[in-house]
Amino acid sequence: MSEPATRAPLALNFHKMNGLGNEIVVVDLRGSTVQLTPADARAIAAAPRSHFDQLMVLYPPRRAGTDAFVLIFNTDGSESAACGNGTRCIGWLESQKTGRSNVCFETKAGLLDVTVEGIDRITVDMGEPRFAWNEIPLAEPFHDTRGIELQIGPIDAPLLHSPSVVNVGNPHAIFWVDDVNAHDLARYFAGRSPLAL
């Protein structure tokens, strides 16, 4: 029986950034022949220095008028089609590099236009949100995705329940509460980002 081939650990330069609480690691592979794999993403996420919520990997542009093709990994090595907070981070870096306030990236969710007015004023056009249950996607049909049957905590006394769901390049569940500080989000979502539920 043969063992699968493994390669030596990668030595990569990266930027560690923060987008509204999301830990973002950016690896720019434009000008490199390296292709990151899901196993690479998991290894990068496992290291304390490079832990991330999303890994933004920049490859050479595939389409004219774009600055890069971006592959986005979650900590488990799965891919995300888009990440608004991560795109704000790479938008800032690209704006600093090029001197332009408008940049554009291609992702699996499509083209994302970024406008950089300052470090605290970076906007991303995430495109048209998708609300249909099968476009989010959900495991079962819900005709009204403004409030689906989902809860966190005991069935007879849920801590959070009935979120709205939407896909803006990646699926989001939004739990509506009167006071976010009244909820122990770190406990509710131990081991995963509440922004990526």
Q: What is the model's pLDDT at position 9?
A: 59
More confident residue, 35 or 184: 35
**For residues 134-147, b (16+ Cβ closer than 10 Å) or e, as one string?**
eebebeeebeebee
Q: Could you tell me the pLDDT band of residue 4, with boundaries at 50, 70 and 90?
A: very low
More confident residue, 138 or 96: 96
Number of H helices, E strands in the chain: 3, 12
Q: Tell me the pTM.
A: 0.76
> Residue range 92-105: average pLDDT?
97
Q: Where are the domains of the chain?
A: 15-125, 128-197
**For residues 53-65, b (16+ Cβ closer than 10 Å) or e, as one string?**
bbbbbbbebeeee
Q: What is the model's pLDDT at position 111?
A: 94
Residue 146 has pLDDT above 70, yes or no: yes
Q: Could you tell me the pLDDT band of residue 194, with boundaries at 50, 70 and 90?
A: very low
More confident residue, 168 or 65: 65
> Residue range 89-109: average pLDDT?
97
Residue 12 has pLDDT above 90, yes or no: no
- Alpha helix (H) ranges present in 19-110? 38-46, 84-98
Q: What is the model's pLDDT at position 189?
A: 65
Q: Considering only 116-120, 156-160, 193-197, which range has the smallest mean pLDDT?
A: 193-197
CATH 3.10.310.10 fits 15-125, yes or no: yes
> Residue range 93-104: average pLDDT?
97
Q: What is the model's pLDDT at position 172?
A: 79
Residue 89 has pLDDT above 90, yes or no: yes
Measure the CA–CA gap between 13 and 35, rounded to whole angstroms: 14
Q: What is the model's pLDDT at position 197?
A: 36
